[in-house]
Structure 1
Amino acid sequence: MPNLKSLFVTRLYHAALSEQKPSIDPTELEASCYSIAEDDEAGQTWCEENGYPGYTSYASLTDLPWRFPIFGDLVKALDAHVAAFSEDLEFDLEDRALTLEDIWINILPEGGTHSSHIHPHSVISGTTYVAMPDGASALKLEDPRSARMMAAPARKKDAREELRTFVYAKPVVGDVLLWESWLRHEVPMNMSEDDRISVSFNYGWA
């Protein structure tokens, strides 16, 4: 019998944010995201000038945890999730923890997309989900080997998940997804009439 095993595995962490403390009220977090977006004129301008659908604070606000207590609590919970994922990845951190580099709000309206990208210079990236109405897009993750498989046949439609070229992670409100920052990903078109709201972040190793 042949000996088959998976090598160089890509890990995806998917958990409820509430599994780590402090607890975050999703309704309060959603209201805070809208309030920040409404007041952030620099962020609104950046989105308009760069053709970004909806709103992101990525290019305008760098101190959400300092400005808003709920984001400070959110980071404490995320720190614990990232520590758990780091342990699963068996990183040798030499007694140093991964620390938050940046955190930002995304409000994606109907028809909005976020094209395929990676997060350079970070170790772990992720998103926690604040509003996911019916029809809101999943997170699309791409096999990191795809650029090296020019002559490979297409996978069967019912191929095992770990063998697919693309995997769609379908979070619900209150979930957190984590992945290594080199993993290419995108947000397909939001087919809902309501906003898809998330908070994304990067962690690095100082």
Structure 2
Amino acid sequence: MTNIRSLFATRLYQADLSAFGAAVDPAELENSCLVIADDDEAGQEWCEAKAFPGYTSYASLTDLPWRFPIFADLVKALDAHVAAFAKDAAFDLGEKRLILEDIWINILPPGGIHTGHIHPHSVVSGTTYVAVPEGAAAIKFEDPRLAMMMAAPPRITDAPEEMRQFVYVAPKPGDVLLWESWLRHEVPMNMSEEDERISVSFNYKWE
């Protein structure tokens, strides 16, 4: 008898932000992101110095939920999603819990990319999508074992998703994606001709 099993699963969580009854106004969230980006001179300077396309508040604003009520509402919604993800992942949190570590805005213009990376020192990372224009690239996830597949042939084009070396997810506005922070991912070029891709990313830590 042959018995073939899938081992060591990598979980990717996708849901509507409103799945747990979140009261986050999408229009207000989008407008807040744009206003913050326009006013955040320190963030603009950091992006220019680092040749970062578009805008991110990652290196400039560390207290968005305190400054703007819409982000406090957003964090309440994200807390519920992260708790659901932790349960699905069978995390044994003991007496500790997963709490927000940082949250930041991303505005990616046409032609902008965000190269492959992980989120060190965090447990769960994710993004909620505010504006996804037509032509915006899907987020790309990489098999974490890829560096160890030294002599492995590529997978066939129509391989099951769980066996592919790269998986692309095309989110829509209002989606939340969550993954464990060690999972390498990237945002390929925004191919929209004129519209920005707006998202809010975040990390959760265990303490």
**Structure 1 length-normalised TM:** 0.99
Distance (Å, rounded) in 1 between the aligned partners of 2:20 and 2:47:
33
1:3 is matched with 3
Equivalents in 1 of 2:185, 2:20: separation in Å?
25
**Structure 2 SS opposite 1:27:** helix
SS at match of 2:134: coil
Deviations 1:46-100 (CA, angstroms, capped at 9, x unpaired) = 0000000000000000000000000000000000000000000111101322000
- Give 1:124's aligned residue: 124
Q: Is contact 1:21–1:76 with CA below 8 Å preserved after alignment?
A: no
Q: 1:161-193: CA deviations, max 9, x gaps?
A: 001000001110000000000000000000002
How far off its partner does 1:22 sit?
2.7
Partner amino acid for 2:48?
E
In structure 2, stretches of 5+ residues that fail to align are none
Q: Counterpart of 1:101?
A: 101
Q: Secondary structure at the match of 2:14?
A: strand
Aligned-pair CA distance for 1:135: 0.4
Aligned length: 206
Instruction: Please name the residue that 1:56 is paired with.
Output: 56
Aligned partner of 1:198 in structure 2 is 199
Post-superposition offset of 1:4: 1.0
> Distance between the aligned counterparts of 2:131 and 2:71, measured in 1?
16
Gaps of 5+ in 1: none
Instruction: Tell me if structure 2 keeps the 8 A contact 1:33–1:105.
Output: yes
Structure 1: which 4+ aligned runs deviate by more than 6 Å?
none
Is 1:17 equivalent to 2:32 in the alignment? no
Larger displacement relative to structure 2 (164-173 or 89-98):
89-98
**1:88 alignment partner in structure 2:** 88
Query: Whole-Å Cα distance in 2 between the matches of residues 135 and 68 of structure 1?
Result: 30
- In 1, the alpha carbon distance for the partners of 2:116 and 2:105 equals 18
Identity level (%):
72
Where 1:15 maps in the other structure, the secondary structure is: strand
C-alpha distance in 2, partners of 1:138/1:84?
A: 24
Equivalent position SS for 2:92? coil
In the alignment, is the contact (CA less than 8 A) between 1:137 and 1:188 conserved in 2? yes
Query: Once the 2 structures are TM-superposed, how far is the Cα of residue 2 of structure 1 from its aligned partner?
Result: 1.0
